């Protein structure tokens, strides 16, 4: 089985990569930071020498990088079983006071990259009549949150993309799942002065294990949405 994971070098993406590797998936891992990406690739190859692990440096805010990532992945894996659109960026700002380019910067990474990869690999999955696409949405994509501004806008858009894709691909036996984590313990919270008590967050490993469970469903079952929130609710004081 073969999978592409974007935003794979840290946080949720890294946890997904580790658990997919443990399940014997061959991987293409993408991120912007070369050293972090190569370190992860080396660790996985050493721990799971029977799988293939390829790393591709890509800035998913640039469409040319996204297209290159798709082409390289297809060269490695002409059959891609799982696409994980995990890459994302979060800017904590009030919608009315944010910079003029805040929305466009987040749309490029949070929506347009996933849109292109969904189309590129979705067509191949449709033709093959199999495959699974995960889009890393957010609770901010179903409930507006103050001070999350354009980030909420992009996650609402990604939820819309995922729902349309689900309807288009269901008759072709291709599964599509929206993953909606709440506040998760990743480095995206650094610099915001939040309480770093681990019990106040969802663990990245929890998100990854939920996705693994969705992949293990019978052929006739599709998990439309996975929502995982901190037991005490979201951390929004940013």
Q: Helices 204-215 and 11-22 meet at what angle, rounded to 10?
A: 40
Pairing outcome for strands 175-181 and 225-228: parallel
Nearest to 51 by CA among 70, 29, 31: 29
Number of Cα atoms under 13 Å in the Cβ half of residue 153: 19
Q: Which residue in the block uniquely carries the two structure tokens 């940013």?
A: 238
User: What DSSP state is assigned to residue 130?
Assistant: -
Burial status of residue 213 (CB atoms within 10 A of its CB: 0-12, 13-18, 19 or more) = exposed
Q: What is the side-by-side strand order in the sheet with 53-57? A: 53-57, 26-31, 2-5, 82-85, 132-136, 175-181, 225-228
Nearest to 89 by CA among 69, 65, 64, 111: 111
Annotated catalytic residue: which of 155, 175, 198, 232? 155
Q: Per the structure block, which two tokens stand in for 198?
A: 């681990």
- Active-site residue 155, yes or no? yes
Q: Per the structure block, which two tokens stand in for 209?
A: 């294990």
User: What DSSP state is assigned to residue 202?
Assistant: B
Annotated catalytic residue: which of 48, 112, 120, 151? 151
- Active-site residue 119, yes or no? no
| Catalytically annotated residues | 151, 155
């Amino acid at each position: 089985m073969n999978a592409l994971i974007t935003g794979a070098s840290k946080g949720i993406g890294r946890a997904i990569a580790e658990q997919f590797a443990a399940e014997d998936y061959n991987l293409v891992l993408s991120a912007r930071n070369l050293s972090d990406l190569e370190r992860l690739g080396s660790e996985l190859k050493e721990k799971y020498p029977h799988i293939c692990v390829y790393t591709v440096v890509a800035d998913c805010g640039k469409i040319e990088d996204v297209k290159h990532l798709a082409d390289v992945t297809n060269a490695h894996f002409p059959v891609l079983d799982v696409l994980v659109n995990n890459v994302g960026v979060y800017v904590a700002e009030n919608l009315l006071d944010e910079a003029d380019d805040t929305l466009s910067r987040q749309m490029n990474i949070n929506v347009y990259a996933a849109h292109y990869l969904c189309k590129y690999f979705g067509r191949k999955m449709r033709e093959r009549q199999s495959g699974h696409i995960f889009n890393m949405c957010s609770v901010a994509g179903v409930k507006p949150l103050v001070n999350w501004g354009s980030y909420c806008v992009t996650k609402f858009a990604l939820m819309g993309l995922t729902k349309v894709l689900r309807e288009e691909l269901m008759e072709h036996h291709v599964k599509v799942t929206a993953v909606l984590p709440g506040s998760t313990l990743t480095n995206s919270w650094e610099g915001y002065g939040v309480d770093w008590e681990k019990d106040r967050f969802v663990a990245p490993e929890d998100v990854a294990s939920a996705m693994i469970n969705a992949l293990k469903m019978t052929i006739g079952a599709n998990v439309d949405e996975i929502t995982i929130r901190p037991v005490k609710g979201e951390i929004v004081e940013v």
